[in-house]
Amino acid sequence: MSLLDLTGRVALVTGGGTRLGAAIVRALAAAGCDVVIHYATSVAGARAVGADVERLGRRATLIQADLTVRADLDRLAAEALAATGRIDVLVHSAANFERVPTDALTAEAWDRALALNTTAPYLLTLALAPALRAVRGSVVAITCLSATRPWKNYLPYTVSKVALTGLVHSLALGLAPEVRVNAVAPGTVLPPDDYDAAALERIRARTPLQRLGEAGDVARAVVFLAQNDYLTGQTIAADGGRLLAD
């Protein structure tokens, strides 16, 4: 069976105005999707990405929402459906990536990570589940290699991504057969500014493919999962083979 044609379908991408989310929006638009671009504070980025979508001949809809606020999650779902009439692909890209050394751990750091990285995908998927079922749609979550091997100084973040991976598996069972739910676990892609050159070189040297990842590597994996209608409950590690070597 050939891959699904995404032309004319509608994708909603959280965190779509910056970094990895922006690359995913562009890739889905290039594959034929109209895209709802969610943003929290990056309005300029969302507008720029929306203009790129429209240059590709697709429709862009921008919606601002704080995904840690339940009312905003419900509003995002309602406004996206009102604007487009359907959601075929839901991508959970928005994330909290906060470095917290063990001696600085707080309840607030835990709450911030879980709220955005796990609770928001759970609630937004539930809010859009009827619409996704109606079109036999799919959900793709951006998880992390740390869900397999924990990272030092990222405890709340790591736990939130472990929980998100469990959510992907559970929703894949719960929403089948109408809705597929999968994940992409990136390697080192768009590293934070505080990663120095030596640290990045150590990561590159440990990666079998001998290069750091690019946003496009992850975005192409997201598109593939949206197109392959016999995959659910799966995680693609877009990591250049790093899990094999760490």
Upstream peptide bond of 130 is cis (omega within 30 degrees of 0): no
Question: Which residue in the list 122, 154, 157, 230 is annotated as catalytic?
Answer: 157
Rg, C-alpha atoms of the chain: 17
Residue 91 β-bridge partners: 13, 140
CA 60 vs CA 37, 131, 132, 147, 159: distances in Å: 7, 19, 19, 32, 33
| Pairwise CA distance, residues 184 & 144, whole Å | 8
Backbone phi, psi, residue 88, to 5°: -100, -35
- How many whole angstroms separate alpha carbon 25 and alpha carbon 50? 9
d(CA 53, CA 34): 8
Catalytic residue flag (residue 230): no
Name the residue with tokens 């959280």. Answer: 14
Please state, as a whole number, how many other Cβ atoms lie within 10 Å of the Cβ of residue 25: 32
Q: At 199, is the secondary structure helix, strand, or coil?
A: helix
What amino acid positions are annotated as catalytic residues? 157
